[in-house]
A and B are shown apart, each in its own frame.
Chain A
Amino acid sequence: MKLSLIHRSLLALALGAGLIGSTHAQTTLLNVSYDPTRELYHEYNAEFARYWKEKTGEDLTVRQSHGGSGKQARSVIDGLEGDVVTLALAYDIDAIAEKAGKLPADWQKRLPHNSAPYTSTIVFLVRKGNPKNIRDWEDLVKPGVEVITPNPKTSGGARWNYLAAWGYALKKSGGSEETARSYVTELLKHVPVLDPAARGATNSFVQRGLGDVLLAWENEAFLSVNELGPDKFEIVVPSVSILAEPPVAVVDAVTNKRGTGKTAQAYLEYLYSPVGQKLAAKHYYRPRKPELADPTHVARFPKVNFITIEDLGGWQAAQKKHFADGGVFDQIYAR
């Protein structure tokens, strides 16, 4: 009777190992992505698997991993074997190229439109009826307004939020580096908590009822309104916002090792196809080729005056200046 405990655990061990072993039967791709793309890729993966099966006869399973964009890049650097990365901003993929050499430094030239098959922007999500009357960036720093945005150190969306605010203050008449700095400093004083990732910030605002306004990805804002009731929230489009380009890339070091290069490449190229563009628009990403998407979906996107990351010197410069250790964000947030 006493021996049987050990026997039983060994048996269970063997059984467990068998269960795990049985899951590795077919071709798989791993898409390491950022937080708000869950729904988009959930649907896209199924579509692509169907297309791939028709084209090559190969059974394909695409697995997903989601988290804050910066954290996901860190995981790939630390060895998470994503065949493709679909992150929130170019710098995070630059970091993978730079720190781990898993793809060439010029990766962004390998696919059309800066390797971003869809774009998005930053909008404000406010509570129904807009009780604090928030119309533009200036209204965010009014007394008594609480702003929810995630932590730019870990979240890609938060870095776009931050740069959109910076860009607004810089580009408005009479704007300069100094006014931009003091505006963003003031804005951060209105942030009660910095969540680590975009979805967490959305939950803070939507579920926990924190804050008066959420700085959010446009797609995330649309999703909150539609998932949780148009009677609870509304979207405010500011006078100026930033054109956010979430890029995609094949991670060569992983695909070479796993022999999945062709599949991974096709997976990303298919995002530019009518099917990919339609799905992007359906999930509230602005398609690069709106003519391929459903017109009713495209009509949902309001017209926005865009500034681009190039206006702010490109990602490498912006990252170094604002988000590196000891950068502008560290200096103004510490105060």
Chain B
Amino acid sequence: MAGASAFHLGGDHAHRFESRAATRETPLVKWLILGLSLTFFVIFLLMPLIAVFVEAFRKGWETYITALVEPDALSAIRLTLLAAVISVPLNLVFGVCAAWAIAKFEFRGKQFLITLIDLPFSVSPVIAGLVFVLLFGAQGWFGSWLSDKDIRIIFAVPGIVLATVFVTFPFIARELIPLMQAQGREEEEAAVVLGARGLQTFWYVTLPNIKWGLMYGVILCNARAMGEFGAVSVVSGHIRGQTNTLPLHVEILYNEYQFAAAFAAASVLAVLALVTLVIKTWVENRAAQSHKDANRDDAS
């Protein structure tokens, strides 16, 4: 949760330290640190990633493609995307509202609200899933009412979406709160003084200010939504072709000794993660760029 303000740290500072003898580290220390982090990177990040793709293609292209176009796999991919497509916009709206409320208004219980937003980070995903079973399960609080109305939540798509929304709740809000707090409310006040209406102020003043932080939050939120396993596993019921998400599908295939297929499905998740990473890097660059531009405008 570095926050958008961390974007423009980086290149400039490192260069300043390096160029001065007083702050320069000895080469030994420099290479030791560099070597250590690279070793860690290779062992813990790069090797597993390569392993996923090697295993996925072990039995050739054909097996790989067959594993992905199989109906259960397609339905798992569809469900994963659906869960992300519903939960990300919901959390987008919620995140902006919460960040707005916390950054721009003073009210009682503000600290409490911030703590509540963090709850999904501190609660184990399994517990999160069980909470929904206790609420909406047949023996749960609303169980008999839901079953009278023939509404299914747990062991159906709504449960999976609910669980996903819960675990991805804080990502966007946490990203925006420090950003909006740092920006204060002067620009909005100026807009209002100049005669802008509420929504106009939001579209033309607030949104441009927070858009990169917002994008960053959306990306993190999306990555987690597609990758969530624990909470979704509890509420899924594991019905193939119906309530299996991609991460759950990977587990099933692995347990069925279909290793190539399991890693093929895993590679889809890995590719989604890599795409996310590329977009994230691009967003960060753009954010740094726009920050520099803004500084230059201020200076002139």
- Beta-carbon nearest neighbor of B82 in chain A: A16
**A9-B85, A79-B154 as given contacts; A23 in contact with B140, CB under 8 Å:** no
CB neighbours of A30 from chain B (8 A):
239
Between A and B, 11 residue pairs with Cβ closer than 8 Å are: A9-B85, A9-B89, A10-B89, A38-B255, A65-B238, A66-B238, A75-B155, A79-B137, A79-B155, A80-B237, A80-B239
Contact between A78 and B255, CB atoms less than 8 A apart: no
CA distance A223 to B136 in the complex (A): 38
Q: A228 within 8 Å of B by Cβ?
A: yes
Interface string of B149-165 (1 = CB under 8 A from A): 01010110100000000
By Cβ-Cβ distance, the 7 closest A-B pairs, closest first, are A79-B138, A78-B137, A16-B82, A80-B155, A9-B89, A80-B237, A65-B238
Which of B136, B207, B241 is most buried by chain A, counting CB atoms within 10 A of its CB? B241
Q: Cβ of B155: which chain A residues have Cβ within 8 Å of it?
A: 75, 78-81
A259 to B86, CA, bound (A): 32
A residues less than 8 Å from B139 (CB atoms): 77-79, 99-100
Q: How many of chain B's residues have a CB under 8 angstroms from any CB in A?
A: 36
Contacts A78-B137, A79-B147, A100-B139: A63 and B257 contacting too (C-beta < 8 A)?
A: no
Contact size class for A? Answer: 35 or more
Residues on A with beta carbons closer than 8 Å to the beta carbon of B137: 78-79
B260 beta carbon closer than 8 Å to chain A = no
How many whole Å from B154's CB to the nearest CB in chain A? Answer: 6
Q: A39-B256, A81-B152, A100-B139 are in contact. Are A2 and B203 (CB under 8 A)?
A: yes
Residues of B within 8 A of A63 (CB): 239-242
A17 to B239, CA, bound (A): 18
Give the residues in chain B near A80, CB-CB below 8 Å.
Answer: 154-155, 237, 239
Main secondary structure of the interface of B (DSSP, over half): helix
Contact of A65 among B136, B140, B237 (CB under 8 A): B237
Q: Mark A1-31, 1 if CB is under 8 A from B, else 0.
A: 0100010011011001101100100000010
In the bound assembly, the distance between CA atoms of A9 and B221 in angstroms comes to 15
Partner of A12, one of B85, B239, B252: B85
Mark A61-101 against chain B: 1 for CB-CB distance below 8 A, else 0: 10111110000000101111100000000000000000110
Complex interface: chain B residues within 8 A of A38 (CB): 255-256
| B255 and A199 contacting across the interface, CB-CB below 8 Å | yes
**A-facing residues in B127-175 (Cβ within 8 Å):** 133, 136-140, 143, 147, 150, 152, 154-155, 157
Closest residue to B154 on the A side, CB-wise? A79
Residues of A within 8 A of B (CB): 2, 6, 9-10, 12-13, 16-17, 19-20, 23, 30, 35, 38-39, 61, 63-67, 75, 77-81, 99-100, 199-200, 203, 223, 227-228, 257
Is B237 a contact of A75 with CB atoms below 8 Å? yes
A78 contacts which chain B residues (CB < 8 A)?
A: 133, 137-140, 154-155
Given contacts A39-B256, A75-B237, contact A23 B75 (CB under 8 A): yes
In the complex, chain B residues whose CB is within 8 Å of the CB of A20:
78-79, 82, 157
- B243-270: which have CB < 8 Å to A? 252, 254-257
Q: For the complex, what is the distance from the CA of A78 to the CA of B138, rounded to whole Å?
A: 5
- Residue B81 is within 8 A (CB to CB) of chain A in the complex: yes
Bound state CA distance, A30 and B236, in angstroms? 14
Q: CB of B88 within 8 A of chain A?
A: yes
Complex Cα gap A129–B160 (Å)? 47
CB distance from A112 to the nearest CB of B (A): 28
Is B138's CB under 8 angstroms from A16's CB? Answer: no
* A65 contact set on B, CB distance < 8 A: 237-240
Closest Cβ of chain B: how far from A304's Cβ, in Å?
25
